Each structure stands twice: as C-alpha cells, then as structure tokens.
Amino acid sequence: MTEQTPQHLNPARKLLRLAARAIWITLVTIAMSLSAVLVIIGIGAIFSIYVMGPFILYSFAFLAMLLMAWSTARLAIRRRRMLLVLNTLSSATRLDLPLSKLLHDAAQGETGLMRNRLLAVHDRLQRGESLEDALLRAAPAGRPTAWGVSSLSSTPSSITAPPMTPWRRAAPDSTGSIPP
C-alpha cells in the first residue's frame, strides 16, 4: 500500500489556496477602495450643492442679462436699418425723385444685409406693392404706420420721422412750471 500525503500537506493544494487567498484579498481591497472613493465623492457632492447653488443662480442671472442685451441689440440694429431705408425714401420724396430708382442707387452704395433690404424694397415697389406692404415684408422693424408711412405719395409729408420721446425731463421755466 502506498502512502498518500494528507491534503493539508499537498504542495499543489497549498499553492492553489495561496493564489485564491491573494485574489480574494485583492478583490476585497479594490471593492473597499471603490466604496471609499464613492463615499468621498458623495460627501463632496452633497457639500458642493450648498457651495455651487449661488454660483449656478448667478450664472442663470448673467445668462438672462446676456440674452436681454442681445435681443435689445438686435432690435436696435433692425430699427437702424429701417431708419436708413426711411431716410432714403424721405430724401426721394423731398427731391421728387422716383422711389424705386433711388432705392436701387442707394443699394449699390451699401453692402451686406442693408443692400439686400434696399433691393428687396426696390423689387417690391417695382412689382406694384404699396410702400407700407413693401416695408413690412422687406425691411421688418415694426409696423410701417408706426414710423409715419401712411401711403405712397409725392408729398414730402408722406414719410415722417418716428415720434421721439425726450431723453430728459424739461427744465422748469422762469415761472416754475415744466413745459409740455
């Protein structure tokens, strides 16, 4: 009868058991490290909400102000373009010149979007549209009637400047009353 070595003394089993224990210790260490990192990140996230709250609020307020300034600038640019078109039309009526020819000549001196707007008004007037409709569709910046354009006529008063509001309150005169 051959003698068998007990299992606890078998070198192959010892080596396998050592490898399994090393793998187990490695896996447990990795799991504990990951859980510690997640706990630290979670605690940091909880505390950062209180710290980041005002920053996020101020960021939204800044973004809102930026959007308001952008939309106001766009509106001012559109109004400026409309005023340039109206100045061209006003000078045409004062000098008793044909509107479409003067618009075409003015468009040749402009570049970019202003040129396109002037040419669009010129084309619409050439097709026989009314001045109000041509301005409404080709150079939009509000209703043309608000700008003083009522109809196409040859009188200089057919195109008037937009109503101006005073920038400052009038100073009282010698009697102490404020003029209208």
Instruction: Give the span between the Cα atoms of 175 and 164, in whole angstroms.
Output: 26
pLDDT for the residue numbered 158: 44
In 3D space, the residue among 120, 116, 144 whose CA is nearest the CA of residue 132 turns out to be 144
Q: Which amino acid is present at 179?
A: P
What confidence tier does 65 reach under pLDDT thresholds 50, 70, 90?
very high
Mean of all residue pLDDT scores within the chain = 75
Annotate 39-94 with DSSP letters as a single string. Answer: HHHHHHHHHHHHHHHHHHHHHHHHHHHHHHHHHHHHHHHHHHHHHHHHHHHHHHHH
Instruction: Give the span between the Cα atoms of 149 and 160, in whole angstroms.
Output: 7
pLDDT for the residue numbered 98: 81
pTM: 0.46
- Per mean pLDDT, which of 35-39, 97-101, 119-123 is the most reliable? 35-39
The larger pLDDT score, comparing residue 148 to residue 72, is at 72
Average pLDDT over residues 16-33: 90
pLDDT for the residue numbered 79: 82
Average pLDDT over residues 127-150: 69
Q: Is the dihedral of CA 86, 91, 92, 94 positive or negative?
A: positive
pLDDT over 70 (residue 115) = yes
CB-based burial of residue 7 (10 Å sphere; 0-12 exposed, 13-18 middle, 19+ buried)?
Answer: exposed
Q: Where are the domains of the chain?
A: 75-158
pLDDT over 50 (residue 29) = yes
pLDDT over 90 (residue 112) = no
Per DSSP, the three-state class of 98 is: coil
Instruction: Give the span between the Cα atoms of 115 and 104, in whole angstroms.
Output: 9
Average pLDDT over residues 103-120: 83
Helical (H) or strand (E) element with 37: helix 11-94
Average pLDDT over residues 160-174: 51
